[in-house]
Chains A and B, each alone.
Chain A
């Protein structure tokens, strides 16, 4: 195993295949929570935390339970339950142990269960790092890194979008384009800029 493969995964999930701007995962919070920078970044960090841990947890479930028992078709069901369970658990722990952190991103944690970025990254991990129902070498680390990269890419896009939208408050936008439509158009331009990264060869 060499380092460059891992670096490639990280760079690819953050920039080239950015989860929001090229895979369209997690669009709802991207449109809904990107009005101000503070909440947007909190949401991004909460998502990063959940995508990373969910990637690790689902790797264990897939490799140690589903594959040995030939239950691969239960992937969707077991993954979404794992994520829902974990998010609930994390919410309770954070509320009890770290009240200040809970104030910062507690409310966003609840929303994350139905964030497609989380289930998306776990499904993508099993699609990419399990060939013919067998884990490829280093798949555990790769899954964890892909989870981390997905969250980081999400946070980056949220940060950029919220910065732009804060400036947009002062702009004269035509009435029918106000709020959601203009956000989509900005996202389209951002995504076009991110297309530039797809020329990278790693």
Chain B
């Protein structure tokens, strides 16, 4: 029961993108198409899961004072692994994501989970928590990129959705990303506020 709740909390209650607003830079930068969003989400999940397990395994060895640099080295190692893997097996995706792959190192979600969860829990639980968070990040990315791709390019996953709609280009440019996330967060605020109101009256 408890392990399943660790997995699920990342999907909604503690969703890194919509609820905690961490790791926004890659979210907005790569969400121009669903394929890119999915690739970024999977890469970040891999880094999250790998680094959480290692951090949790060495949590008794690392001295308190130098823990952050140690975490960063562990995270950077996994980022380098995924960077090289992507370059070798998915060169197109690697080129599309560009500099945002090495930037997973400074994605606050990864360091945040290492510090807040993996440094205090056993490896298996940390892995489950990291997977949940990674999946939450991935679906948020997919949602944002689906909205932007549909409105800005008229396609979803590369398939056209309608012939009668001429997409405004700005949705896949920078302003569209900021507009999408702003409206999405406002919508989430609106609905969760309504739920709270009901609970209190």
Chain A CB within 8 A of B155 CB: no
**Chain A interfacial residues counted at CB < 8 A:** 45
Q: Is B103's CB under 8 angstroms from A123's CB?
A: yes
Chain B interface residue count: which class?
35 or more
Q: Which chain B residues lie closer than 8 Å to A31 at the CB level?
A: 21, 24
Nearest residue, chain A, Cβ from B27: A24
Interface residues of B in 113-162 (CB under 8 A from A): none
Q: How many angstroms between the C-alpha atoms of A114 and B72 in the bound complex?
A: 10
Nearest residue, chain A, Cβ from B77: A77
Contact with A along B170-191 (1 / 0, CB 8 A): 1001111111011101110110
Looking at chain A's contact residues, the main secondary structure is helix
Looking at chain B's contact residues, the main secondary structure is helix
A119-B102 in contact given A24-B29, A77-B77, A80-B76 (Cβ < 8 Å): yes
Contact with B along A83-108 (1 / 0, CB 8 A): 01000000000000000000000000
A189-B28 in contact given A81-B72, A114-B108 (Cβ < 8 Å): no
Q: Is A81's CB under 8 angstroms from B28's CB?
A: no
Of B33-41, B48-56, B79-87, the segment with at least 4 beta carbons within 8 Å of chain A is B79-87
Of A43-51, A53-61, A138-146, A176-184, the segment with at least 4 beta carbons within 8 Å of chain B is A176-184
Chain B CB within 8 A of A132 CB: no
Residues of B in contact with A (beta carbons under 8 Å apart) = 21-22, 24-26, 28-29, 68-69, 72-73, 76-77, 79-80, 83-84, 98-99, 102-103, 105-108, 111, 170, 173-179, 181-183, 185-187, 189-190, 193
